[in-house]
Amino acid sequence: MTFKVFDLQCERGHVFEGWFSSHSDFDTQRERGLISCPLCDSKTIDKKPSAPMLNVSGSKEPGPSSRAASKPAAMQAAMLQHLRQLLRQTENVGERFAAEARRIHHGEAPERPIRGVATYEEQQSLVEEGIPVAAIPALLDDERLQ
């Protein structure tokens, strides 16, 4: 079976790859809402102009440069998908992050996964108190990505 590989882009500018049996297969899936961005889940997807690439079953494996080019993009998409999932499972406490993390640590508030904003000094202080924290770039906590 032959697949057409298209470079796709969502309305937010995220670029990813899609494999389809034909141009009309892409159009049908897009119209039915079956295609979504792996980073932000947007269903507003367009094809980007690109050189055609065919994957024909029974043919040789793609060359090393082809594999090398697609692996980082796939890894990035998987990582961002995972981070987005983690962010969905946390409560955004905003500027109260350091205080709420301390309250949870000391049993004064229910234990739950939280996220928010803390200065570098607040982060360091939490770590020194034995409260585990991980910094996430603000870009990844953009509500539009979730």
* pLDDT band with cut points at 50, 70 and 90 for residue 138: low
Q: Name the residue among 17, 144, 20, 19 with its Cα closest to residue 73.
A: 17
Cβ neighbours, 10 Å, residue 37? 22
Each domain of the chain, given as residue ranges in start order, spans 2-86, 90-141
Pairwise CA distance, residues 3 & 35, whole Å: 16
pLDDT value of residue 95:
92
Residue 4's φ and ψ, nearest 5 degrees, are -100, 135
Q: Residues 8-40: pLDDT tens digits?
A: 999 988 888 888 888 888 999 999 988 988 878
**Residue % of the chain over a pLDDT of 90:** 32
